[in-house]
Amino acid sequence: MNAFQYATATSPASAHELIGDNGRYLAGGMDLLSELKEYIADPKILVNIRGLPALSKIEPGQQTWKIGANATISEIEDHAELKKTFPGLQQAAADVGSRQIRNSGTVGGNLAQHSRCWYYRHRDVHCLKKGGDLCYARHGDNRFHSLFTGCTCISPVPSNLAIALCALDASVTVAPRSGKEKQMTIPELYAAAWRDPEAHNSLEHGDLILGVQVPAQGRRSSYIQMSAKSEFDWALVSCAVAAKVEGNKLSQARVVLGWVSNIPYQVEAANKYLEGKELTESTANEAASMILADAHAHSDNGYKIPIAQTLIRRALLQLKA
């Protein structure tokens, strides 16, 4: 790890001031510290944003829930009312890393974390995402990589929460260094990673995530991930679903896949197809086929397709309960 300066922000404005041109925000540190230790990131200053006032709350609401960026993943996992209202979000949180990681990691950090691609994370490999000129994964071992990409980089977005929040139509409040606070949808938050191989998300340097708003519209939700190990492992594929279910009829359905694309992956046609449909195994299978129709398997990741097919079906059928 290289030397760096350290400062504590007392307000979003002070965070913006301290971050400068070469700083990084430090919240739970789960992602950033490993990048520092592997010499992947080399910031001049770490700006601790953990103490920013009023960013740690989880506030239930009739219309909208507000979750502060500094709420920990454990706090999402443990929130009894949240579990009742957004079971998919609670499950996505519970499946993050280990309990120790969830105790430290924050909502903002989980959303903004960087690629886990083993080429990107390797200290001796200068890949496309790090400003090199080759996506080694395309030519090498891509068993953990994407089936859907809009650019040369095929590393998938690693955030569990993004997948669940995307299904729930959540939006993110971001404070840029200059100008007013902006609201971004989850697709907007990751759109840049679809088109730009060097981007992990659409945040500009100095953008500070303040919190997340989740609309509470009486939709049910679910989240399932499949990993090689039982616990404490990244997903091979994950799937989040949200929909209203009335008399076994679906409406406002949204199905989102994780670990198969640079973005939380969804197919609008599949969401539309589900509108007004009976929640049955064949409906679920049909939606899965529509979502996976354009999957492009590389040399080692084609096995993700049957897993995704299964998870979409299972996640949708879980809404019945």
Partner 1 sequence: MVREEDAKEENSPRVWDEKPNLTKPKVTEKNDVDAAFGECAAVVEGTFSTPVQLHHALETHGNTISWTEEELTSWSSTQGISGVRHDLAQNLKVAESKVRVICEYMGGGFGAKFGPIVEGVLAAQLSKQAGAPVKLMLTRFDEALAVGNRPSSFQKIKLGAKADGTLHAFDLDSYGTAGIGSSGVSEGGGGGADFPAPYIYKIPNIRAKQSGVAINAGSARAFRAPGHPTASFGMESIVDELAVKMNIDPVEMRIKNDTSEIRRKEYALGAEKFGWKEKYKKPGSSPGPIKTGVGCAGATWGGGGRGTKAEAIINPDGTVEIRCGTQDLGTGSKTVIALIAADIFGLTPEQIVVRVGDTRYPASGGSGGSTTTASVSPAIYDVCTKALAELQTQAGVPDAKGENWAAACKKLGVNPLHVNGQWQEGLSSSGAGGVQFAEVEVDTETGFTKVKKITCIQDGGLIVSKLTCESQVNGGIIMGIGYALYEQRVMDRTSGVVLNPNFETYKITGLADVPEIEVVLLDMPERGVIGIGEPVTIPTASAVANAVANALGVRVPHLPMTPERVLEALGKYKPAPAAQPAAA
Positions that interact with partner 1 (CB under 8 A): 116, 118-119, 122-125, 134, 136, 138-144, 226, 228-234, 236, 297-300, 302-303, 305-307, 310-311
Cβ 111 to partner 1 shortest distance, Å: 20
Q: With respect to partner 1, which residue has the nearer C-beta, 78 or 233?
A: 233
Closest contact distance (angstroms) between CB of 265 and partner 1 is 18
Task: Tell me the three state secondary structure of residue 41.
Answer: coil
Nearest approach, Cβ of residue 211 and partner 1 (Å):
29
Distance of alpha carbon 63 from alpha carbon 179, whole angstroms? 27
Torsional sign, CA 73, 74, 80, 83:
positive
Number of CB atoms found within 10 A of residue 205's CB:
12
Distance in Å, CB of 233 to partner 1, minimum: 7
138 vs 249 by CB, closer to partner 1: 138
Q: Which residue has the tokens 């989880």?
A: 58
- For residues 5 and 45, give the distance between their C-alpha atoms in angstroms, rounded to a whole number: 4
CB 207 within 8 A of CB 173: no
**Choice between 118 and 190, CB closer to partner 1:** 118
DSSP 3-state of 201: coil
The residue (of 124 and 268) whose beta carbon lies closer to partner 1 is 124
Give 152 or 185: the residue with its C-beta nearer to partner 1: 152
- For the packed helices 160-167 and 186-195, what is the interaxial angle rounded to 10 degrees? 120
Q: Which is nearer to partner 1, 277 or 298 (CB)?
A: 298
Long-range contacts of 246-252 (CB under 8 A, 24+ apart): 248/278, 248/279, 248/320, 249/276, 249/277, 249/278, 249/279, 250/274, 250/275, 250/276, 250/277, 250/278, 250/279, 250/283, 250/319, 251/275, 251/276, 252/217, 252/219
C-alpha of 71 from chain center: 15
Shortest Cβ 83–partner 1 spacing (Å): 21
Tell the residue number behind the tokens 């001031």, with chain if given.
17
Minimum CB separation from partner 1 for residue 312, in Å? 11
Q: Which is nearer to partner 1, 44 or 116 (CB)?
A: 116
- The least CB distance from residue 127 to partner 1, in Å, is 9
